[in-house]
Amino acid sequence: MRIVCIGGGPAGLYFALLMKKQNPAHHVTVVERNRPFDTFGWGVVFSDATMQSMRQWDPETAATIEDAFNHWDDIELVFKGRKIRTTGHGFVGIGRKKMLNILQERCLELGVELVFEREVQDDGEFPEADLIISSDGVNSRTRAKYAEIFKPDMLIRPNRFIWLGTEKRFDAFTFDFQRTEHGWFQSHIYRFDDKTSTFIVETTDEVFKAHGIDKMDQDQSIAFCEKLFADTLDGHSLMSNARHLRGSAWLNFGRLICEKWSHFNGNSHVVLMGDSAHTAHFAIGSGTKLAIDDAIELTNQFNRIGHGRENIAAVLEAYEEVRRIDVARIQNAARNAMEWFEVVGHRYADTLEPEQFMYSMLTRSQRISHENLRLRDPVWLEGYERWFAERAGAPASPNGHPVPPMFTPYSVRGLKLANRIVMSPMAMYSATDGVPDDFHLVHIGARAMGGAALVFPEMTCVSPDARITPGCLGLWNEEQKEAFRRMVAFVHEKTPAKIGIQLGHAGRKGATKVAWEGTDQPVEHGGWPLVSASAIPYLPHSVVPRAATREDMDRITADFVRAAKWSDEVGFDILELHCAHGYLLSAFLSPLTNTRDDEYGGSHENRARYPLEVFRAIRAVWPADKPISVRLSTNDWHEGGNTPEDAAVFAKMFKEAGADLIDCSAGQVVKDEHPVYGRMWQTPFSDKIRNEIQVPTIAVGAISEADHANSVIAAGRADLCAIARPHLADPAFVLHEAAKVGYAGQVWPKQYYQGRVQYETGLARAAAVAAAPPAGKA
């Protein structure tokens, strides 16, 4: 095959040498516009995993690169006059020039043809090539030429950064945050050879402009950074090697995703690789890793399918399929990390104390969890746990270890919770005429004995026509009230848990079948008229609701008030107003479901008017020492719907009206939604609302184990974690998670003592087996 790589960065060079090595008969050429020793940029970092695969594919290159590596373990934070350091993070850094020269030499050794100082204008310059690798970086000309086919989606991010170097040799990956009269600047600093460290300075566009950096030339902006980070630089200067860039040399990061990566141009197959196909923000330092991994995977597919030109189409298809998954995973983590640095000033730096700020920074991508931090630096993590627990008023646990974050107590108004875990409301569709029966008593009772500090029965509807299904719970008559009294009494008298009630009105999502007969499908018999913000049905064949009149609103408010009063009378400890998931109050909040032209539609203020009327009415009858939480859909996951920004506006309004907690759910407002699922997927919305609006929050959604909950609570992304489905699988979820993380202070029901002993012994045995050397090697 004849292969041409346009661009001699890490992607082009590494692919060229791998292919030549696999099959020396290939004719491989790399065409680079720069000279061999010309390159901008300073050092890049690699993970151990990338090195491991490089060792497998070409031990010679890996060995030379490893010789040139600088390895370091520590991360140091410089913040608010403090320096905090943790260890065990394992990075390697190498100068970009050095790495490219190693790759160039290896290419020559293997017989790759290297052409320098030739700027490729068009892939048509290589009509004889069977395969053209477009490894020409983020501003790829080839990608631009075939934009109609590759469909690149480039999102220019708001922050500004400049990539500098310094001769100060840092012995830790250092993050230095400095506040000016206009806001925060951060620097990302890491050493990559015996003399030099990379020094990236970043800030928001607002702060950048407020300081007039946009009008500075490179020397002025470097002088500005030297002054700002003078303490950390310790008399050293900053250097630029991007003299080719005009103006101040500050850049905006562009996040790139392409819909397609390859194309046949009539003569040759053209494929995007490295930064020309996708980018990952430098906050997780994975751009070079992605480029190298692309090169490895494409070579791997040629090995698997065959090195002949007749296989190229199949190889490219397989390459794209495999790489897309990994790239999406890295880009996802990079997005979290990038967003953290975009909002860090006002969201975290202004408010968090250095200890928690450090924790939040270390876990910014949500890839590094609490237990992962323990593996890296157990001493630092235990110190942080102790710091956190002391602040939460938790004495050390019986075995002397600090209480893990999720097991620390939490108080709001007069409510005192033993830990941070809430059993989230979950509709069971098992009531008759809204009355809780023995199923509900046992269901809730078992979970209250299972260790959650607070349990919520499912959404309880305030009138018969407020129900989602005929099987939903209600609180509009005495029979229901008495049945709830029995449930609440059981929880209070027989368990250490507290119990809350979630009051709601189904709105346009009412009169549907129970889940196992058809979620959201209208009931065939015995339905009732529906009311919503506007007369828009949920599904095309759903009952069309009536747009609520003033009379409807007054009646519904009165129903909420009655249910709230009775909830207090039967002893519920906290009330949650359900303003999420497209039910009535949520339908008022979302522009997708509220098209009213009166004072209840339009602006945020108008859309929130009725939900706030209901909130204020229940707050007025609900005792002052009992809290109220409000559940919001913090993202409609639909074009034109509410975004987390809108949710923050509503959260602020509810906070000002007296809400104590915002329970941050998302979606279910319209059927045609496009949620992005993943571990702890809704937690970023809770983080935003808690730290920007300064209101306590509950995070919910795929928080499935102690490790997740500990990370969320420790980082200050939420005050409480609501756990739903894991509680269906395991009523004793919290007891089991406590045992798994070795938290000795968890109280079990005294009747279950022997079960606890056996469970904990079983875990200890399994851990001992896992830690033992494999048979025959002892």
Ligand X SMILES: Cc1cc2nc3c(=O)[nH]c(=O)nc-3n(C[C@H](O)[C@H](O)[C@H](O)COP(=O)(O)OP(=O)(O)OC[C@H]3O[C@@H](n4cnc5c(N)ncnc54)[C@H](O)[C@@H]3O)c2cc1C
Pairing of strands 410-412, 197-203: unpaired
State the chain's maximal CA–CA distance in angstroms: 88
Closer CB to ligand FMN, 427 or 574, in the complex: 427
CA distance 50 to 715: 28
Q: Report DSSP letters for 174-198, one per residue.
A: EEEEEE-SS-EEEEEEEE-SSS-EE
Among ligand X, ligand FMN, none, residue 459 binds (CB under 5-8 Å by kind): ligand FMN
User: Could you say whether residue 4 binds ligand X (CB under 6 A)?
Assistant: no
Q: Which of residues 527-586 bind ligand X (CB under 6 A)?
A: none
Q: Are 385 and 727 in contact (CB under 8 A)?
A: no
Judged by CB under 6 A, does residue 136 bind ligand X?
yes
Token digits of residue 711: 């990370």
Amino acid at the residue 131: L
Site for ligand X in 289-308 (CB under 6 A): 289, 291
How do 697-700 and 661-665 pair as beta strands? parallel
93 vs 425 by CB, closer to ligand FMN:
425
Q: Which is nearer to ligand X, 100 or 575 (CB)?
A: 100
Asked if residue 165 binds ligand X (CB under 6 A), the reply is no
Which of 731, 723, 747 shows the shortest CA–CA distance to 421? 723
Spatial contact of 105 and 88, defined as CB atoms under 8 Å apart: no
Residue 425 interacts with which of ligand FMN, ligand X, none, CB < 5 to 8 Å by class: ligand FMN
| Shortest separation between residue 44's beta carbon and ligand X, angstroms | 4
* CA count, 13 A, side-chain hemisphere, 457: 32
Q: Does 6 bind ligand X (CB under 6 A)?
A: yes
**DSSP per position, 596-608:** --STTSSSHHHHH
Catalytic annotation on 583? yes
Tokens of 22: 């696999």
Binding site for ligand FMN (CB under 6 A): 424-427, 458-459, 502, 578, 580, 631, 665, 700-703, 723-726
Query: Residue 585 or 648: which CB sits closer to ligand FMN?
Result: 585
190, 583, 600, 743: which is the annotated catalytic residue? 583
39 vs 502, beta carbon nearer ligand FMN:
502
Return the residues of window 178-207 that contact ligand X according to CB under 6 A: 200
Interaction of residue 33 with ligand X, rule CB under 6 A: yes
* CA dist 437 → 430, 443, 513, 710 (Å): 9, 10, 20, 35
Residue 143 vs residues 278, 327, 421, 684: alpha-carbon distances, Å: 11, 18, 49, 33
Residue closest to 104 by CA, chosen among 12, 209, 176 = 12
CB of 584 to ligand FMN, least distance (A): 13
Per CB under 6 A, the list member of 18, 28, 44, 337 interacting with ligand X is: 44
Residue type, 569: E
275 binds ligand X (CB under 6 A): yes
| Both structure tokens of 21 | 């090595």
The least CB distance from residue 13 to ligand X, in Å, is 8
Q: Minimal distance in Å, beta carbon 530 to ligand X?
A: 53
Whole-number Å distance between alpha carbons of 144 and 146: 5
Closer residue to ligand X in complex, CB, 31/238: 31
Q: Are 77 and 357 in contact (CB under 8 A)?
A: yes
Report the run of H or E that residue 107 belongs to, with start and end.
helix 96-110
427 binds, among ligand FMN, ligand X, none (CB under 5 to 8 A by kind): ligand FMN
Q: Residue 200 binds which one of ligand FMN, ligand X, none, with CB within 5 to 8 A depending on kind?
A: ligand X
Angle (CA) 538 540 543, round 5°: 60
Binding ligand X (rule: CB under 6 A), the pick from 31, 131, 283, 577 is 31
Sheet containing strand 91-95, edge to edge, reads: 43-46, 91-95, 70-72
285 part of the interface to ligand X, by CB under 6 A: yes
CB of 468 to ligand FMN, least distance (A): 8
725 binds, among ligand X, ligand FMN, none (CB under 5 to 8 A by kind): ligand FMN
Q: What are 67's two structure tokens?
A: 């010789």
Between 100 and 119, how does the x/- string for binding to ligand X read (CB under 6 A)?
-------------------x
Q: Which token pair is 639?
A: 């074009």
- How far is C-alpha 718 from the geometric centre of its chain's CA atoms? 13
The item of ligand X, ligand FMN, none sharing an interface with residue 701, based on CB under 5 to 8 Å by kind, is ligand FMN
Instruction: Provide the sign of the torsion angle of the four alpha carbons 126, 127, 129, 135, taken in this order.
Output: positive
Task: Rank residues 119 and 517 by Cβ distance to ligand X and give the closer one.
Answer: 119
The least CB distance from residue 17 to ligand X, in Å, is 13
Record the tokens describing residue 195, joined without a space. 């003399």
Query: In the complex, what is the shortest distance from the CB of residue 457 to ligand X, in angstroms, rounded to a whole number?
Result: 50
Q: CB of 24 within 8 A of CB of 110?
A: yes
Count interface residues toward ligand X (CB under 6 A): 31
**Cα–Cα distance measured from residue 575 to residue 502, given in angstroms and rounded to the nearest whole number:** 6
d(CA 343, CA 104): 40
Indicate which single residue of 70, 72, 137, 152 sits in contact with ligand X (rule: CB under 6 A).
137
Work out which of 3, 4, 7, 746 binds ligand X, going by CB under 6 A: 7
CA-CA-CA-CA torsion sign (118, 123, 125, 128): positive
Q: Which of 1, 3, 4, 10 binds ligand X (CB under 6 A)?
A: 10
Between 268 and 469, name the residue whose CB sits nearer to ligand FMN: 469
Other beta carbons within 10 angstroms of residue 169's beta carbon come to 14
Cβ 509 to ligand FMN shortest distance, Å: 11
Does 679 sit near ligand X (CB under 6 A)? no
Report what 602 binds from ligand FMN, ligand X, none; CB cut-off 5-8 Å by kind: none
Question: For residue 60, which amino acid is it?
Answer: E
Binding mask 235-274 for ligand X (x = CB under 6 A): ---------------------------------------x
Q: State the nearest-atom distance from the C-beta of 325 to ligand X, in Å.
A: 19
Nearer Cβ to ligand X (46/583)? 46
* Cβ contact 14:291 at 8 Å: yes
- For ligand X, give the closer residue by CB, 251 or 343: 251
| Interface with ligand X (CB under 6 A) | 6-12, 31-34, 41, 44-45, 119-120, 135-137, 141, 163, 200, 274-275, 282, 285-289, 291
Active site residues: 583
